[in-house]
Amino acid sequence: MAESARISEQNALTPSEALRLLEQRAQSAQHELASRTDAGPDVLHYLAQNGAVATRRAVAANPAASAKSNRLLADDEEDEIRVELARKIGRLFPGLLLAEKKHLRDLTIETLERLARDEEPRVRAMLAEEIKHLDCVPKQVVKDLAHDSEEIVATPIIEYSPLLSDADLIEIASTAHANAMLAAVARRKGLSDDVSDAVVATRDTRAVTILLGNVDAAIRKKTLDTIVSQAAEIAEWHGPLVLRAELSPRVIRRIASFVSSALIDVLASRHKLDDATRAHLARALTKRRQREEKTEQAPANAARDVDAAKRAGYLDDSFIAAAAEACQRETVVCALAVLAKVDENIVQRVLDSGSAKAVTALAWRAGLSMRIAFKLQNVVMRLKGRDLLPARGGVDFPLTEDEMRWHLGYFGVA
């Protein structure tokens, strides 16, 4: 008996240990209550006010929490709690709007609007992901999220929201500050020809590639003609272009003049062709295969020619001009890469970008004249009219050195 009492005294809790155990068990009980849908709104609200972080997060995820509790948690200092709340509010929003009392519906909308303005991008992104398909969300919330500075917030709304009108999408396309947002416009289902026009007008290579691959996008004949007129130098467009269903015989013939033999085969097999067009494609296929055989060694020849010119001391304006005029793109790319001390892939990206400012900056870095920069725009990139960047005073670069460095920086050139 005495021995048992002695052991019991040795295992006795100190007051601080007892309080800590009590607190742990209380927190465990609170967390369990916070996760129960039958705990009652008053209990959940108490826990939302006074619970630990894990408890408040459980209330935020609990569909039985009241509109009042949800609004309280929308201002919680913990990001993870607001992320969880955004997930729930977005997912349950249509049902929450069915509350009988107007002030509860208004409180739910206020919570949604608060989360849409949250300073933490993850909160806004979670909300955007959950409401992207809904048509019962306040339109201003959708528009604000679509114009969000963070791609992870804006792109789900831009691509999927049924509340964005053609006018909204055209505005987004014309003002998009990130290529991902423009690409999201191009991916939308049921895209109208007006919005397609706006995407093409940006001259963004990736967005137009996505647009061409979007079988639900309507593209006007005139717009398709514009794309085809620029497509010869933009290889990314060739594949999706030949798969468009609305190609006329005239456009098919034009496309066959610059795509690979494999894609000419696709053109011939996918489209119902008249005899004249079919014969034209057969001739184009023969010529293309002959040309491909001759140009298999073109990259090696280009590197050899550029190296020889450099050794002889005439890798200069005249060399670049002659290569451009002779349509020797591989030689132009190789020469620019050597002179500008950048990778050939970067040169290709600049030439494919459709940016007169970017290629002008590249020519400047390569030590070439503005005359050559303009020839690259006109002859190699095939820019026209207002897309061209002419020399200042007939001979000088029209951009400052800082501006040209900035444009090169966009392509990763330091």
Which pLDDT tens digit goes with each residue over 309-327? Answer: 899 988 999 899 888 888 8
195's tokens: 């919005």
The angle subtended at Cα 199 by Cα 166 and Cα 177, nearest 5°, is 95
pLDDT by residue (tens digit) across 394-404? Answer: 789 999 999 99
364's tokens: 């400047």
Cβ–Cβ under 8 Å, residues 159 and 132 = yes
Residue 284 pLDDT: 86
Q: Where are the domains of the chain?
A: 22-140, 298-409
Long-range contacts from 39-45, C-beta under 8 angstroms, 24+ separation = 39/64, 41/65, 41/66, 41/68, 41/69, 44/69, 45/69, 45/72
pTM exceeds 0.75, yes or no: no
Give which of 326, 402, 404 is closest to 368, Cα–Cα.
404
CA distance 287 to 289: 6
Only one residue has tokens 């977005």, namely 90
CA distance 134 to 220: 29
Contacts of 153 (CB under 8 A, 6+ apart): 121, 124, 125, 128, 145
Query: What does the pLDDT average to over 353-366?
Result: 93
pLDDT level of residue 363 (50, 70, 90 thresholds): very high
pLDDT by residue (tens digit) across 130-140? Answer: 999 999 999 99
CB atoms inside a 10 Å sphere around CB 153: 25
Mean pLDDT lowest among 44-58, 109-123, 234-248: 234-248
pLDDT level of residue 8 (50, 70, 90 thresholds): very low
Following CA atoms 104, 108, 110, 114 in sequence, which dihedral angle do they give, to the nearest 10 degrees? Answer: 150
Q: Is the model's pLDDT at 84 over the cut of 80?
A: yes
Residue 49 pLDDT: 94
Q: What is the mean pLDDT of the chain?
A: 88
In angstroms, how far is CA 39 from the centroid of its own chain?
Answer: 44
Per 3-state DSSP, the chain is made up of helix, strand and coil in percentages (nearest 5) of 70, 0, 30
Between 285 and 81, the more confident residue is 81
State which H helix or E strand residue 295 sits in: helix 275-295
What's at 303, amino acid-wise?
A: A
Cα atoms found within 13 Å of the Cα of residue 322, Cβ hemisphere only: 11
Query: What does the pLDDT average to over 405-413?
Result: 89
> Collapsing DSSP states into helix, strand and coil, what is residue 396?
strand
Residue 5 pLDDT: 47
Q: Is the model's pLDDT at 393 over the cut of 90?
A: no
CB atoms inside a 10 Å sphere around CB 261: 17
In angstroms, how far is CA 206 from the centroid of its own chain?
Answer: 9
Query: What does the pLDDT average to over 193-208?
Result: 93
CA distance 47 to 28: 12
Q: Is the model's pLDDT at 20 over the cut of 60?
A: yes
pLDDT by residue (tens digit) across 262-302? Answer: 888 888 886 678 889 888 888 988 888 877 666 555 566 88
